[in-house]
Structure 1
Amino acid sequence: MQEQRSKRSSRQIAAIVLLILMDMVLSFVEFPLIPGAPWLKYDASGMVAVFSGMLYGSGVGVLVAVVSWIPRFASDPFGALMNVLAALPLVAVMAAWYRPDRSFGGVALGCVVAVAAAVTVSVCMNFVITPLYLGVSYEEVASLVVPALLPFNVVKASANVVLAVVCATKLRGLLADER
């Protein structure tokens, strides 16, 4: 019994390390979504963190989200910080919602609540980070909320949770023994 637990634990650790590496690689594949705000870039790394949380719980999802962005702090500290801050509520809420209620309605509601939490945190944090990053005033940041910040964060968070749910649904049978 002990040997089986240990082996399973080793597989989980290996899977988590692979998820961190996948998240890290995807963080470098980014592109801007809003023409007037080229610093707002989408990458699918958040999807891996959300998927990790759905599979192993919010603690692991948060771990994946944070650890995978550590290398990016050297080259883009503000972008890395914003990505981590945006991922934390998305991962934590979606994982907490998904694990007890995997019905279609439960997952859909979890997606909506997770996206709302992530968008709220992201828009609020833009008032702190963007003036430091771009050297603009709070008024300029406020003028970007409706045309840039809100749509970008809604699209980014929505894409990440939808991709994570699709992955979780498609891989459920393969990964069922990993829980």
Structure 2
Amino acid sequence: MSNVSTKTSYLVKLSLLAAISVVLMYLEFPLLPAFPWLKIDGSDLPALIGSFAFGPITGVAIEALKNVLIILIKGTETAGIGQLANFIIGATFVGTAGMIYKYKKTRTNAIISMAVATVVMSIIGIFANIFILIPLYMPGMSSADLMNYVTKGIVPFNLIKGLGVSIITLLVYKRISVIINREGFQYEGEKISKKTA
């Protein structure tokens, strides 16, 4: 298969995973009764699968593309801040997991990568909300309310989200990866190489 054909195949798969992510964003539901606006969906699942199959850059690209598409299709009620939050958290999760997994593609390392990614995502979620998201969206929130929101809302939400996406990925990735890599090629960053594993 030529490089052009391989790149085309890769772009088609990336676009398909992003489109699935957009669809999954519609299937959202509140997770914590005290914070009903924190809604969980499965849109990080295709991005994580893409990150495992093609590398962390692909996972981050899917996260970016799905948020751009959802704004174009559905619009935004938060002036884009909700989508920015979704991108920061999602990209951190799939990017971290993908970076760890690409060095040793085993089930054990996949579990380790997702566990580490969940912790990193939760930490980044704290700082992103304190220094970027809340100041942009609710600049008048008091320090006490902000810390309550972060500790009782953001942290448990991201931990549960990371755990849920990780479990589903473990259950489905092996089967899906066979379909994704059917041509026997793997895309990593700017380099296209024949898959050997």
TM-score by length of 2: 0.81
* Deviation (angstroms), 1:131: 4.5
Write the distance in 2 (CA, Å) between the matches of 1:63 and 1:106.
23
- What secondary structure does 2:34 align onto? coil
* One-letter amino acid of the structure 1 residue matched with residue 175 of structure 2: K
Give the 5 Å matches for 1:26-175: 26-73=24-71, 74-75=75-76, 76=78, 77-128=80-131, 129-134=133-138, 135-175=140-180
Equivalent position amino acid for 2:105 in 1: R
Cα distance change, pair 72–175 in 1 and its aligned pair in 2 (3 A): closer
Report if aligned partners of 1:123, 1:145 keep a CA contact under 8 Å in 2: yes
Considering only aligned residues, what root-mean-square deviation do their CA atoms show, in Å? 1.9
Higher helix share: 1
Q: Which structure is higher in strand share?
A: 2
Contact 2:13 2:180 in 1 (8 A): no
Gaps of 5+ in 2: 187-197
SS in 2 for 1:40: strand
CA distance in structure 2 between the aligned counterparts of 1:139 and 1:72, rounded to whole angstroms: 33
Aligned length in residues: 177
Which secondary structure does the structure 1 equivalent of 2:35 belong to? coil
TM-score by length of 1: 0.89
Q: 2 CA distance for matches of 1:92 and 1:150?
A: 19
Structure 1: unaligned runs, 5 residues or longer = none
Percentage of pairs with the same residue: 21
- CA-to-partner distance for each residue in 1:126-167, whole Å, 9 max, x for gaps? 213234424422320101233222111101122223323333
Q: Letter of the aligned partner of 1:136 in structure 2? A: M
> 1:51·1:165 contact (CA, 8 Å) conserved in 2?
no
In structure 1, C-alpha distance between the alignment counterparts of 2:21 and 2:179, rounded to whole Å: 20
CA contact under 8 A between 1:131 and 1:141: conserved in structure 2?
A: no
Q: Which moved more, 1:126-135 or 1:18-27?
A: 126-135
